Amino acid sequence: MNNKHCAHEEPQRVKEPHRDEEPQRDREPQRIKEPQPDKEPQRHKEPQRAQEPSREQRVYITLAAVPQGKVVTYGQLGELAGLPRGARQVGYILRNLPPDTTLPWHRVINAAGKISLGPETDSGVRQRALLQEEGIVFNNGRISLKQFRWQP
């Protein structure tokens, strides 16, 4: 049988409401509840742990703890921040600090006790001046790590 209406067929009738029911047009449309994902019982749920700080945040936190008049090497800062063998990562993180940072970036030097920035660059000159203001002494362009290394 064809679904198209022919002229001789009767149109489909609309279902009459039962005498106890209200007509459909007077009712509020029924809302279909969307299926909810299964939820685990609340009683066995573990407490949420605080989100671990990123490696950048760990470096910032560790760097902020370096006291005035002391220095750390890039590798030492990495170790203290939980980045073993992370001297290059620390260098990258420090290189990307905003210019107006209050972190003591100038207290980070290389393993030879020297400033890694070029001695003639503006940043190198500034780092040396900031360290000297804190009482750190240079001897032939080097800082004595025995004397000035921070040992937390």
User: Domain-by-domain residue ranges, the chain?
Assistant: 55-148
- Using one digit for the tens of pLDDT, what is the confidence trace for 7-39? 555 555 555 555 555 555 555 556 666 556 665
- Using one digit for the tens of pLDDT, what is the confidence trace for 40-90? 555 666 666 778 999 999 999 999 999 999 999 999 999 999 999 999 999
SS3 state at 22: coil
Q: The pTM is what?
A: 0.66
Give the closest residue to 141 by CA, choosing from 119, 108, 117: 119
CATH code of the domain made up of 55-148: 1.10.10.10
